[in-house]
Structure 1
Amino acid sequence: MSSMRLGSDLCYTICTPDAGSVIKTYSPDLIVNRILNPDVPFAEVERQVDALFARLHAVVIGPGLGRDEFMQSCARLCIQLARKRDMYIVLDADALWLVQNEPDVIAGYSKAVLTPNKAEFARLCTTLGVDAEQDPDTAARQLANALKGPTILQKGGIDRITNGTEEAHVDAEGSLKRCGGQGDILAGCLGTFAGWAAIYAQEHSPRSTASSAGELAQDNLLLYAGYGAALTARACSRRAFEKHRRAMLAHDLLVEVGPAYQELWDA
C-alpha cells in the first residue's frame, strides 16, 4: 500500500483467498488477487501468477508471507517466475527466511534487492559463510558478493546499501521509536523505486557506467533505488513521530509517504 501512496500507477496484492477477504476491507483502493490458493493444483497457481507478472515492472515478496510450507513454496515460485521475466525483485521479511534456507533461489540474480534487519542479516551471513560481527560495511559487501548479484539493503541505525562493489549509507534522522510494520513501508517504497528503475532501464541502452552527464549507471540502479527508499522511509518515520510520539504505529507512517516524497524529491 505504501507503493500506491508513493505513486505507483497500479499495485496488486497477491495472497491466499482467506487473507484477501480481510485485506480488501482495508481500503476500496486496493487491488487484491486471491490466486495463492492451496485448494487448486499448483500448476494453476503458477499459471495465474505468471499471467499477472507479465503486466508488472517489479515485485515485492515477503511482507505477510509466513513460513508455512505452502506460502514458502509460493515465494519460491514468485521468485522463479520473476527471474524468468527479468523483473526487479524486492525480498523482505519471510522471503528472507526462504533465502536463508535456499540461497540458490536468488543467487546470481542482479535485479534483486534484499532488505534484512539485524537478525535476518546475521542468519543470512551464517548460511553464506560471512562473519556478521566484523566491520559492518565489509560484512554487507561480503554478503552481497557471496550471493553473486543481489543488492543488500541492511536496515539499522545506519542503513547500508551495497551491491558488493558500490555502497551507500543512509543515516538521515528517523524517529525515536521503531514500530512493527515499519519495514513493510520501506519494502513498499523500494518496490516503487525498483519499478521506476525498470522503466529507466527500458528507456536507456544498457551500460555499466554513465556515458553522459546526468545518466545513471545501469549496474547501480537498485543501489539508487535502495538509497531513495531508505531516505523516504526515514522521513516518514520522522514525520509520524513528530505527530504521534510514542503512540506512533505503522499506519501513521503510511499517510506520510506522499508528503515525505514531496519533501525529499519534489523540491
Structure 2
Amino acid sequence: MPVAPKMMAQLRSLIPPLNGMLHKGQSGRVGVLGGALDYTGAPYFASISSQRLGAELAHVICSPTAGGAIKSYSPDLIVHPILKEESSVDTVRSQLESILSRLHVLVLGPGLGREDYMQKFAKVALEVAKSQALYTVLDADGLYLIDRNLDIIKGYRRAVLTPNVMEFKRLSEAVKIDPSTPPEKRASLVSKALGGVLIVQKGPKDILAANTTGSEANAALSKVEEGEAVDEIVQIDVEGGLKRCGGQGDILSGTIGCFLAWGKCYEDGAYGDKSIPPSRIPILAAAGGCTVTRTASKRAFLREGRSVVTQDMLGEIGNAFAEVFGEELQGRDPARIQKL
C-alpha cells in the first residue's frame, strides 16, 4: 500500500524547497561508512543514490584498499580513506569526530565487511554519531556489528535498521524473539527489545515498525493515552521490479539516509517550519526511502527486464521521486523546460 495521506503530508514537509533560498549544505550532507578490500560497490551505491535523490553532499569513509576504486566511480563523492588497519582507535576517533561534525546523517554498513579492524572502527563511528545526535542508518555488516553489541544501539531512536530476510533472522535471534512469532508482529517486538529503534524489515512488502510512547504516537496523529506504549507499524508494498538486484539494499540505505538528512535540516529550522517532532523523522524517512526505491526498481525493470542491474536503478531515482511526489517538487516543470 502507498504511504497514507497524513504521513505523506508530513513527509513532504521534510523535502527541501527548490526556491533558490537555501545555501550550500542545507539540502543534506550524507556520510556512508563502509568499503573494505572486497567491497567498493556498496558504499558507492548508497552514497550516490542519496545524491541522486537530492542530497547536496555525500562523503564515503572507507579503508585505503577501497578508496581509489570508489573515487574512480564518481567525482561527485568526497572520499575519506582513513580506516587504516594500523591506525589507533584514538586517531580514527579524532578523524571521525571532525568528519561527522559536518554531516546530518551517517549510513553505516554498506561494504563494511567483517574484518576486526573495520568492525572496531564502525563501533567507534556509531559512538561518535550518537554523541553528535546524528541520525543513522545501519545495514549489511553494520547489522552484524549490532548483533554482537546490542547495547550500543538500544534506545537510540535516531537510528534506522534495515535488515533483509537473513539479517532480520539473526537480529531476532540476538534479541531472543520467539521464532514462531507471526512475521508481521516480529518487527515491532524487535523494536521494543531494542528500546524503540525503528526497524525496516525488507521483503515482498517492507514492514516499518517502532515501539513508541503515547506522546510520540500523538505526534503521529494517533489517539492514545500519554505515556502508553504503542506499536506503530507501516507497510509499504508499492510495486517494485520483478528482479531483486544485489545492491538494491544499498540504494535503499542511501535514499533513507537522504530523507533523514533532510529531516535533520528540517529539525534545525532550515525550511522554517518545525512542527514535526524529531521522534517522527525516522519513520517518515524510512517510508519515503522505501517508496522511492521500490518505484525506481519498477521503472528500471520495465526498461531493462531480466538484464536489469543495480546501476540501472540510479538513473531512475529522480524519476521515481517525481512519480511519487509530483513534478512540481522535483523542480522540473515540463512547460518551462519546453520554453527553454
Whether 1:192 aligns to 2:258 is yes
Compute the displacement of 1:215 (Å): 4.1
1:70 to 114, 117, 120: 117
Output one character per residue of 1:214-250: Cα deviation in whole Å (capped at 9) or x when no partner: 9434322111110000000000100000011010111
Partner of 1:135: 182
1:201 to 267, 270, 290: 267
In 1: Cα distance, 2:87 partner to 2:170 partner? 33
TM-score of the superposition, structure 2-length normalised?
0.74
> Which secondary structure state, in structure 2, belongs to the residue aligned with residue 163 of structure 1?
strand
Q: Is the 8 A contact 2:158 2:279 kept in 1?
A: no
Output one character per residue of 1:120-170: Cα deviation in whole Å (capped at 9) or x when no partner: 111111110112442223111000000003100110011001112212110
Q: Is the 8 A contact 2:57 2:77 kept in 1?
A: no
Partner of 2:137: 90
Partner of 1:148: 195
> Which secondary structure state, in structure 1, belongs to the residue aligned with residue 265 of structure 2?
helix
Partner of 1:119: 166
* Aligned residue identity for 1:231: T
1:265 to 325, 330, 335: 325
In 1: Cα distance, 2:184 partner to 2:191 partner? 11
Compute the displacement of 1:258 (Å): 1.2
> Which secondary structure state, in structure 1, belongs to the residue aligned with residue 84 of structure 2?
coil
In 1: Cα distance, 2:175 partner to 2:90 partner? 31
Partner of 2:312: 252
In 2: Cα distance, 1:215 partner to 1:137 partner? 31
- The 10-residue stretch of structure 1 (190-199 or 228-237) with the greater mean CA deviation from structure 2: 190-199
In 1: Cα distance, 2:275 partner to 2:127 partner? 31
TM-score of the superposition, structure 1-length normalised?
0.93
In 2: Cα distance, 1:6 partner to 1:202 partner? 20
Unpaired runs of 5+ in structure 1?
Answer: 205-211
Partner of 2:276: 216
* Aligned residue identity for 2:190: L
Partner of 2:296: 236
Compute the displacement of 1:10 (Å): 0.7
> Which secondary structure state, in structure 2, belongs to the residue aligned with residue 108 of structure 1?
coil
> Which secondary structure state, in structure 2, belongs to the residue aligned with residue 89 of structure 1?
strand
Residue correspondences, number: 259
- The 10-residue stretch of structure 1 (214-223 or 114-123) with the greater mean CA deviation from structure 2: 214-223
Partner of 1:50: 97
In 2: Cα distance, 1:59 partner to 1:190 partner? 11
- The 10-residue stretch of structure 1 (26-35 or 239-248) with the greater mean CA deviation from structure 2: 26-35
Map residues 25-36 of structure 1 onto 2, 5 A cutoff.
25-36=72-83
In 2: Cα distance, 1:119 partner to 1:51 partner? 35
> Which secondary structure state, in structure 2, belongs to the residue aligned with residue 47 of structure 1?
helix
Compute the displacement of 1:29 (Å): 1.5
Q: Larger relative contact order (C-alpha < 8 A, sep ≥ 6)?
A: 2
Q: Is the 8 A contact 1:111 1:149 kept in 2?
A: no
Output one character per residue of 1:15-36: Cα deviation in whole Å (capped at 9) or x when no partner: 0112001111111212111111
Q: What's the % identity of the aligned pairs?
A: 41
* Aligned residue identity for 1:266: G
Q: Is the 8 A contact 1:167 1:223 kept in 2?
A: no
Partner of 2:147: 100
